[in-house]
């Protein structure tokens, strides 16, 4: 339940757009039914008392979310101390196949990867969404100490994700101290 949530969404979205594990290729169909996020859960997998950035709340609507489509996300979080580059991160992505979790490998910088500096990855965002900018947090390092409120705002989801169950675990550190850890479960269906 950290700022790492937007980072995981960023990497998950990028991976869903570019990695074949997320694409459902069907030669026989000319029309693709919309994919819906039928369940979504998240929890802190770190110690909030030791984490630098702590989310106070997260709202995701509508229920279910349809892809492609739009989603409303709202977040309230606290940054306890400034976080800057280099912020190391590990992201592990799984997809359930035949009732077993299969780890999606790191291809380039997408999938189950180690990032020497998450700030460099965030610098790839060409247009930081206005609600994040208006909150004062921004999309780029450094993240300054303070309380931030990003009211529920609409974001387009222009990706296709194969039906199925996904699990993502993201962990970030700065100067050897925990920034945050997030554990996500997502389930998509037609």
Spans of all domains in the chain: 4-24+33-189
* First vs last C-alpha separation in the chain: 28
Nearest-CA neighbor of 182 among 43, 73, 79? 43
pTM for this model (two decimals): 0.74
Please, which residues bridge with residue 75 across strands? 58, 150
Average pLDDT of span 29-40? 66
Q: What is the pLDDT of residue 90?
A: 95
* Residue 21: both structure tokens together: 């594990």
Q: What percent of the chain has pLDDT over 90?
A: 36
- Assess if CATH 2.70.220.10 describes domain 4-24+33-189: yes
pLDDT (tens digit per residue) in 143-189: 999 999 998 988 888 777 778 999 999 999 998 899 988 888 988 88
69-79 and 53-61 beta bridge pairing? antiparallel
């Amino acid at each position: 339940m950290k700022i790492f949530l937007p980072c995981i969404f960023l990497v998950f979205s990028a991976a869903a757009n570019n990695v074949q594990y997320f694409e459902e290729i069907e030669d026989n169909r000319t029309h693709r039914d919309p994919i819906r996020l039928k369940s979504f859960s998240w929890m802190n997998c770190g110690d909030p008392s030791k984490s630098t950035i702590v989310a106070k709340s997260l709202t995701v609507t509508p229920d279910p979310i349809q892809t492609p489509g739009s989603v409303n996300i709202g977040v309230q979080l606290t940054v306890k101390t400034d976080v800057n580059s280099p912020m190391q991160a590990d992201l592990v992505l799984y997809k359930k196949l035949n009732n077993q979790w299969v780890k999606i490998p790191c291809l380039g910088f997408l999938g189950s990867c180690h990032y020497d500096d998450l700030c460099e990855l965030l610098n790839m965002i060409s247009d930081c969404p206005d609600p994040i900018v208006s909150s004062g947090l921004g999309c780029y390092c450094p993240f300054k100490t303070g309380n931030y409120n990003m009211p529920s705002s609409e974001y387009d989801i222009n990706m296709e994700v194969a039906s199925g169950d996904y699990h993502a675990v993201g962990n970030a550190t700065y100067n050897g101290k925990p920034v945050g850890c997030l554990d996500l479960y997502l389930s998509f269906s037609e």
